[in-house]
């Protein structure tokens, strides 16, 4: 029977691992409404937002010279999206680095307890007897390997999923710039019809929603439908409110 210690806060090693896994998930989960991690997801998220906001601006200010309005919006929006993506990326890395340093400190100052946690982890995987003893001893002999194992197995972190913030910022910029350029082109003809811009925006939103759903292995059709529905609701709200206050 495992002896409980202050390090385990009154829990046995396996219970402590469960609590640590919850801690890892809490520290690395996305803030509600924040941009998705990864440069592809950042680009898709940026493209959807650009399409919705660009369309709402066009609806609210239909008589503005859009070759200037679109250009001004494009540059300001790109700066914001790049900065926002970079800041979110740095925040994720900061949380990761904090967890790494906390776990490194645990290994240096509570080595016997870390060994118990490691035994509990590998016993839960089906290791037992001499094989379990050998696996634990091999991992305990290499601090760097031990740190990686504890971060991935105890805290449930996927270290390869963390991208450099600047890479995410580039993805976000490309998503915003590409969408804004496409929608601006839709307005270039002198007699551009409303459906030209609305159709282009809908295609961007549908494509971006499908890309994110595919990367997350979610169903494509519901993702596309719901993203288009929310976008239509937002644009429709802006349109009817604009008509109401102009009346």
Nearest one of 142, 171, 149 to 78, comparing CA atoms = 171
149 near 139, Cβ under 8 Å? yes
Residue, of 209 and 7, whose pLDDT is higher? 209
Pick from 84-93, 119-128, 219-228: least confident: 119-128
Mean pLDDT of 52-70: 77
Residue, of 159 and 103, whose pLDDT is higher? 103
Pick from 4-18, 73-87, 144-158, 214-228: least confident: 4-18
Total residues belonging to the chain = 247
Residue, of 100 and 11, whose pLDDT is higher? 100
Residue 76 has pLDDT above 90, yes or no: no
Task: Give me the pLDDT at residue 14, please.
Answer: 44
Task: Give me the pLDDT at residue 208, please.
Answer: 93
Task: Give pairs for 174-177: CB < 8 Å, separation 24+.
Answer: 174/43, 174/46, 175/42, 175/43, 175/44, 175/45, 175/46, 175/47, 175/50, 175/81, 175/208, 176/46, 176/47, 176/49, 176/50, 176/74, 176/77, 176/78, 176/81, 177/74, 177/78
40 near 171, Cβ under 8 Å? yes
- Full-model pTM: 0.65
Banded model confidence at residue 149, pLDDT cuts 50, 70, 90 = confident
80 near 98, Cβ under 8 Å? no
Q: What is the spatial distance between Cα 232 and Cα 234, in angstroms, rounded to a whole number?
A: 5
Task: Give me the pLDDT at residue 88, please.
Answer: 83
Nearest one of 68, 51, 59, 70 to 199, comparing CA atoms = 51
CA 118 to chain centre: 30
Task: Give me the pLDDT at residue 37, please.
Answer: 55
129 near 123, Cβ under 8 Å? no
Task: Give me the pLDDT at residue 192, please.
Answer: 57
The two three-digit tokens of residue 122, written as one number: 């590998």
């Amino acid at each position: 029977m495992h002896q409980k210690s202050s390090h385990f806060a009154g829990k046995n090693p396996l219970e402590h691992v469960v609590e640590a896994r919850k801690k890892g998930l809490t520290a690395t989960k996305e803030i509600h409404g924040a941009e998705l991690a990864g440069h592809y997801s950042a680009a898709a998220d940026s493209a959807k937002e650009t399409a919705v906001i660009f369309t709402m601006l066009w609806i609210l200010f239909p008589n503005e010279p859009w070759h200037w309005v679109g250009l001004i919006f494009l540059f300001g929006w790109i700066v914001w999206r790049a900065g926002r993506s970079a800041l979110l990326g740095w925040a994720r890395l900061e949380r990761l680095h904090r967890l790494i340093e906390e776990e490194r400190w645990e290994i240096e100052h509570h080595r016997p307890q870390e060994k118990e946690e490691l035994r509990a982890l590998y016993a839960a995987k089906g290791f037992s007897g001499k094989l379990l003893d050998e696996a634990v001893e091999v991992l305990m002999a290499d601090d760097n390997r031990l740190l990686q194992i504890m971060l991935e197995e105890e805290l449930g972190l996927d270290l390869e999923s963390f991208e450099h913030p600047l890479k995410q910022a580039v993805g976000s910029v490309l998503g915003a710039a590409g969408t804004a350029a496409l929608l601006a082109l839709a307005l270039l003809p002198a007699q551009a019809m409303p459906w030209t811009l609305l159709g282009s925006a809908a295609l961007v939103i549908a494509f971006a929603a499908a890309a994110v759903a595919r990367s997350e292995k979610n169903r494509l059709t519901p993702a596309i439908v719901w993203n288009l529905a929310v976008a239509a609701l937002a644009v429709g709200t802006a349109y009817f409110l604009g008509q109401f206050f102009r009346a």
